[in-house]
Amino acid sequence: MNRIRLLPEHVANQIAAGEVVERPASVVKELVENSIDAEARHIAVEIQAGGRSLIRVADDGVGMSRDDALLCLERHATSKIQRAEDLSAIATMGFRGEAIPSIASVCRMVLTSRERGSDPAATQIIINGGKLVEVRAAGSPAGTSVEVRQLFFNLPARRKFLRSDETEYAHIHHYLTLAALAHPQVGFTITKDGRAVWQLPAVAGGEAAPQAGLRERMRALFANEGELLPVDFSASIPPPRAAEPEDDANTHFRVWGLIGKPGVSRATRDEQFIFVNRRPVENRGINFALAEGYHTALMKGRYPVCCLFLEIDPAAVDVNIHPAKREVKFHQERAVRQHVTDAIRETLLSFHTAKLALPATSSGGSRAPGTAVTSPSRSGDFARHPPAPVDKPVEFPQFTSLTGTALDPRGVAPERITGRSEVAQPPLPPPAPVRAMPDRADAAPSPIEPQPVPLLQVPLRILGVIGHLYVVLESDKGLVLMDQHAAHERILFEQMLQRLERGSAPSQRLLLAETVELSVRDAQFVRELLPTLNRLGVGLSEFGERTFLLDALPPFVKVGDARRFTLGLIDELKAAGQEVNTLRLGEHTVAKTVCRHAVKANDPLSGPELESLLKELRHCAMPYTCPHGRPTLIEMNYRELEKKFGRVGSA
């Protein structure tokens, strides 16, 4: 007796639906993606009961003829690809041809479509649980409308696993937010239980001026777009060493969008929107790259806010590794991750030093018009954009006060500030020489968008100190508070790292050398980093195939277990990426060291010392957070003050 047999068509479709249709949001995703691929200019989505009872998606796209409308109900019927080779050049949202038949097998569906410029009569198809009920002519505007009712009516086991109506609608709303951000040139209307939720018009010039279109769409969706900085970074990714001769060309890579300015963060990743070739994706490597780009600018447990678009040759990314196409895989993951990190870090560094200066190119990447300029090296966070030397540089490990006098265990002289002091904005260090980008005749000029102005680029007047810790300043926009301890930490931190990067760090021999055994992959990783580790004071040398001899550490590393410290260091360097930051070795220890030596709460500072603190903070590369990611400055503008005093809206 044969035990292997073919499944019936409707059973196969329901199995496919289990992979594609997880919940009502999955249906909305597949139908909206089809509308976008059909060149829709406006998409209307109607939801009832969280999508359980009704999902209707209507568009004004190219539509389908009668034959195509019938054929789209067949599995693996698609207009997106024809050959297996087409999978390496996918430029559409969908391509498998599984969505419509999979959805139709688990609901009661009505599909109505009319092709643009064809027969005035539309084709309407009625399907119940995957079974064709009726095909008839109907009146309809050009485009396609898909109505899905009673989702999972024939799969009660799946239906009972759906959450509450509000939870299911929240998932739908999240996806539609992603779609609206990815396609500002498309208008969206959302109706929930008969009530209009969104009416987003299409943004004019959304494709010609994507940065402006994105900002306009974010302005319509969110209230905090003014806290975001523009990113536009381009680079070429060389082919891997083992590439075939026909694949030896460089891959163009671009990352653009908006990221939160220093100090803007959230407790979750809910406000991180990542797109690859306009497709919303999840990728752990990009998440790590984001965190790395914000290194020392975020507190532990906080996550960046961003809306980033990665543009890369479709042949260099695999979008076919997940049934719902949520995840992607890059052929050169490390290079993509490195460039995303570079784009984030350079945008944050340039926010303080060169607000919307000229376009430039730098090693490994180029900047598009309208973004700030830096010309960093690749060796470390602050060597990438070294701050200007201060009047009294800190000697390592000897520390000096803000005015150059030696610090005692408590801090500085016992003088206290009295009266007011005016601190004018000192001239910032000039940007490094830049090269102009080649003209792009095909690029449409984008309107100038108002950008956040760095606090340290405006005149600040010192008013006093409260709580023996917070310096009160006045700006042209309102009130500014500076944490004197956090500010001094940042100053000492950057000065200390500069000393480490200028040359070889001192090394202190261990009383007893220790052996460190690693896995094959870790041993290869460390072998490539040995020159850098030795330069930074870590006495590590090869002692066998997978064994290394540890006989020295930098003098500022005070640990009881040198071997455990080295293993933790290797894990941290692996997570950060080999080329991301060669100074990661000592950063945590440096941060702890400067925390002990920075001025504390209850350390009174005189007027000249406060002026010196502010002046030196202006010269830092990342002055808006301490090394632990806490803010050094907080602004409360006049509008916020007026709200607190009830003056907004008063006569």
Q: What is the pLDDT of residues 594-620, one digit of tens each?
A: 777 778 877 888 889 999 999 999 989
| Of 216, 293, 296, the residue nearest 259 (C-alpha) | 293
- Hey, how many other C-beta atoms are within 10 angstroms of the C-beta on 550? 21
Task: Give the pLDDT mean for 47-70.
Answer: 95
- Written as six digits, the tokens of 31 are 């139908």
Whole-number Å distance between alpha carbons of 120 and 140: 8
The region of weakest confidence among 152-156, 208-212, 221-225, 355-359 is 355-359
Residue 301 has pLDDT above 50, yes or no: yes
In the DSSP assignment, the letter for residue 514 is E
Residue 415 has pLDDT above 60, yes or no: no
Residue 428 has pLDDT above 80, yes or no: no
Whole-number Å distance between alpha carbons of 572 and 263: 24
Buried b (16+ CB within 10 A) or exposed e, 126-155: bbbbbeeeeeeeeebebbbbbbbbbbbebb
Q: Residue 67: helix, strand or coil by DSSP? A: helix
Q: Are strands 228-237 and 251-260 parallel, antiparallel or unpaired?
A: antiparallel
Residue 69 has pLDDT above 60, yes or no: yes
In the DSSP assignment, the letter for residue 644 is H
Q: Residue 178: helix, strand or coil by DSSP? A: helix
DSSP 587-615: HHHHHHHHHHHS--TT----HHHHHHHHH
pLDDT at res. 402: 44
> Any residues with CB less than 8 A from the CB of 462 and at least 6 apart, and which?
417, 420, 421, 422, 423, 471, 472, 473, 607, 610, 611, 614
Residue 422 has pLDDT above 50, yes or no: no
pLDDT, the chain, mean = 79
Question: How many Cα atoms sit within 13 Å of 16 on the Cβ side?
Answer: 21
User: How much of the chain, in percent, has pLDDT values that exceed 90?
Assistant: 36
The region of weakest confidence among 326-340, 417-431, 543-557 is 417-431
Task: Give the pLDDT mean for 571-585.
Answer: 61
DSSP 16-66: HHHHH-SSHHHHHHHHHHHHHHTT-SEEEEEEEGGGTSEEEEEE-S----H
In the DSSP assignment, the letter for residue 130 is T
Type of residue found at 238: P
Residue 593 has pLDDT above 90, yes or no: no
Task: Give the pLDDT mean for 140-167.
Answer: 93
> Any residues with CB less than 8 A from the CB of 591 and at least 6 apart, and which?
296, 489, 493, 627, 628
Task: Give the pLDDT mean for 631-640.
Answer: 90
Q: Using an 8 Å Cβ cutoff, are 371 and 356 in contact? A: yes
Residue 63 has pLDDT above 90, yes or no: yes
Cis previous bond, 210, omega within 30: no
Q: Residue 245: helix, strand or coil by DSSP? A: helix
pLDDT at res. 369: 36
pLDDT at res. 416: 33
DSSP 247-304: G-SPEEEEEEEEEEPTT-EESSSTTEEEEETTEE-B-HHHHHHHHHHTTTSS-TT-EE
Whole-number Å distance between alpha carbons of 490 and 568: 24
In the DSSP assignment, the letter for residue 351 is H
Task: Give the pLDDT mean for 300-310.
Answer: 91
pLDDT-derived band at 295, boundaries 50, 70, 90: confident
pLDDT at res. 420: 38
Residue 425 has pLDDT above 60, yes or no: no
In the DSSP assignment, the letter for residue 396 is S
Residue 158 has pLDDT above 70, yes or no: yes
Q: pLDDT digits over 10-29, tens only? A: 777 777 666 678 899 999 99
pLDDT at res. 145: 97
Q: What is the pTM of this model?
A: 0.74
Whole-number Å distance between alpha carbons of 229 and 305: 10
Q: Using an 8 Å Cβ cutoff, are 83 and 72 in contact? A: no
Residue 251 has pLDDT above 90, yes or no: no
Q: pLDDT digits over 255-266, tens only? A: 999 999 887 889
pLDDT at res. 418: 34
Q: Are strands 54-59 and 143-149 parallel, antiparallel or unpaired?
A: antiparallel
Q: pLDDT digits over 435-478, tens only? A: 333 333 333 434 445 566 788 888 899 999 998 899 999 998 89
Whole-number Å distance between alpha carbons of 50 and 167: 8
Residue 79 CA to its chain's centroid (Å): 33
Q: pLDDT digits over 281-294, tens only? A: 988 889 989 988 88
Whole-number Å distance between alpha carbons of 151 and 159: 8
Residue 424's φ and ψ, nearest 5 degrees, are -80, 160
Q: Residue 71: helix, strand or coil by DSSP? A: helix
pLDDT at res. 367: 43
Residue 479 has pLDDT above 80, yes or no: yes
The single residue listed with the structure tokens 């139908």 is 31
Q: At what angle are helices 520-535 and 562-576 packed, to 10 degrees?
A: 100
Whole-number Å distance between alpha carbons of 299 and 595: 15
| Of 641, 592, 617, 597, the residue nearest 482 (C-alpha) | 617
> Any residues with CB less than 8 A from the CB of 651 and at least 6 apart, and which?
none
Percent composition of the chain: helix, strand, coil (DSSP 3-state, to 5): 30, 25, 45
Residue 219's φ and ψ, nearest 5 degrees, are -65, -35
pLDDT at res. 241: 65
Q: pLDDT digits over 383-400, tens only? A: 333 333 434 443 333 334
Task: Give the pLDDT mean for 533-562.
Answer: 84
Q: pLDDT digits over 94-124, tens only? A: 676 778 988 999 999 999 999 988 778 899 9
Q: Please report, to the nearest 10 degrees, the dihedral formed by the alpha carbons of residues 278, 280, 185, 99 taken in order.
A: 100
User: How much of the chain, in percent, has pLDDT values that exceed 70?
Assistant: 74
DSSP H or E stretch at residue 366 = strand 365-367
Whole-number Å distance between alpha carbons of 342 and 307: 16
Residue 256 CA to its chain's centroid (Å): 10
Give the residue, 579 or 46, on which the prediction is more confident.
Answer: 46
Buried b (16+ CB within 10 A) or exposed e, 605-641: bbbebbbbbbbbbbbbbbbbbbbbbebbbebeeeeee
Residue 378 has pLDDT above 50, yes or no: no
pLDDT-derived band at 248, boundaries 50, 70, 90: low
Residue 650 has pLDDT above 70, yes or no: no
pLDDT at res. 225: 62
- Written as six digits, the tokens of 574 are 């692996």
pLDDT at res. 582: 52
